Structure 1
Amino acid sequence: MQLRRADVVAGALILLDAEGLDALTMRKLAAQLGVQAGGLYWHFKNKSALLGAMADEIVAPLAAEPAPGSWDAQLTEFGHRYRQALLSHRDGARVVAGTYVTEPNTVRGGEMTMRILIEAGFPVERAGWAIFAAGYYVLGHCIEEQAQLAEGDWAERGAGLPDSALKEAFETTIRARPEERFAYGMELILDGMRARLGEARP
């Protein structure tokens, strides 16, 4: 059976989940798929192109329309959906970070979030900046969240801190449920966006 592009992406995601991003190589992927390494280059000119396609598959849930509601409720839904998508694969946030692909799922998700903010009253340029700011928050949170999962309990890392508000904040932050920390951060971003939107309105 001829190897399809979708087969390569699916195999790469399986290898990612099994061994992590740092172990993902074109040679190892080719061996897993039972082909010569050169066969992969019919579909992807290099590993960077493959990572872009993997990123687009990871964010596929963002291509679905959000539930009806206010612009900030829809953006909140997108943020939580984005987090779940990134966490659905080992090192998923690291794969997506910095890819800037124009693959279908990524484009559709971007178009929908732009439409939501423009219809809310944001100028196009500021809507783009706002989406990047929110997206960077989700990516950064998930990169740290997945690192914490991979490396175990981080609470002991605060042991060397002097007794202070910083140490207390570090320990309570690390021990908090990640989804609660994430939701709080999303609300901070949305509070800022609401304030900016209010300032822009006559």
Structure 2
Amino acid sequence: MRHRRDDVVDRALAVLDVHGLPDLTMRRLGNELGVQPSAIYHHFADKQTLLAAVADTILARGGRPLPEGSWEERARASCHTLRDACLAWTDGAEVVATVRAFGLGARAPYDELVGVLTEGGLDPELAGTASRTLLHFVLGHALDEQTHRQAGSAGAIASDPTSTDHTSDFETGLDLVLAGLAVRATR
């Protein structure tokens, strides 16, 4: 059976969600699709290119339109959307952060934040730095949450993996970053 590019990405997402990033190999993905791993290279030059497509799909599926409102409200909504999209998939934050760090994809959240901040009157250079800072906070926080949940689920730490302690911490941290940016923007 011949698979389309979207079929490969969908199956990669399923493997990611069930087994995690360390077990998302070309060999396992080929087995899941019922093809030789080399057949995947028809659609993707290498695993990094596949992961870029996976990251972009995670972001697209988790995307939501931004609400009307101030730049602070819109930036907050964008950060929540990114966090929720990453947390919806096992190791989603790691995939998105890695792809972004390698410059292979996952640009949508950055582009969206830069647009929100420049439309809000921030200098474009400051908007770029602020967007990267917000992304580092959101992705780092989501990665920490996922790692904590997985360690709790595996019994590696004595913690309730469904605990929502991280949610209030996320809100407070986001408040701090946005408040600092608002002060800087008024200078």
TM-score by length of 2: 0.88
Shift of 1:107: 4.3
Residue in 2 that maps onto 1:45: 45
Query: Which aligned pairs between 1:1-202 and structure 2 lie closer than 5 A?
Result: 1-61=1-61, 63-100=63-100, 101=103, 103=105, 106-152=106-152, 177-199=165-187
Q: CA RMSD in A?
A: 2.1
Flag the structure with larger Rg.
Answer: 1
Alignment coverage as a number of residue pairs: 180
Distance 1:25 1:61, change over 3 A: closer
* One-letter amino acid matched to 2:169: R
Q: Deviations over 1:142-195 (max 9, x none)?
A: 1111111011188869xxxxxxxxxxxxxxxxx862111101110000011101
CA contact (8 A) 1:71 1:116 kept: yes
Q: Is the 8 A contact 1:79 1:138 kept in 2?
A: yes
Q: How has the CA–CA distance of structure 1 residues 64 and 80 changed in structure 2, closer, same or farther, with 3 Å as cutoff?
A: closer
Provide Cα deviations, 1:72-122, integer angstroms capped at 9, x if missing partner.
Answer: 00000111111110000001111111313565xx44443332221112121
SS across alignment from 1:42: coil
Q: Which amino acid aligns with 2:185?
A: L
- Unaligned runs of 5+ residues in structure 2 are none
CA contact (8 A) 1:59 1:85 kept: yes
Change (3 A) 1:87 1:62: closer
Q: Is the 8 A contact 2:9 2:50 kept in 1?
A: yes
Change in 2 beyond 3 A, CA 1:85/1:44: same
8 Å contact kept, 2:71–2:117:
yes
Summarize the Cα distance change of 1:61–1:195 in structure 2 as closer, same or farther, 3 Å threshold. Answer: farther
Which amino acid in 1 is paired with 2:98? G
- CA deviation digits over 1:23-43, x for unaligned, max 9? 110011010011111110011
> Do the aligned partners of 1:44 and 1:50 also contact (CA within 8 Å) in 2?
yes
Post-superposition Cα deviations, 1:9-63, rounded to whole Å, max 9, x if no partner, equal: 1000100111111111001101001111111001111111111111101111565
Q: What is the alpha-carbon distance in structure 2 between the residues aligned to residue 135 and residue 184 of structure 1?
A: 15
Q: Is the 8 A contact 1:21 1:95 kept in 2?
A: yes
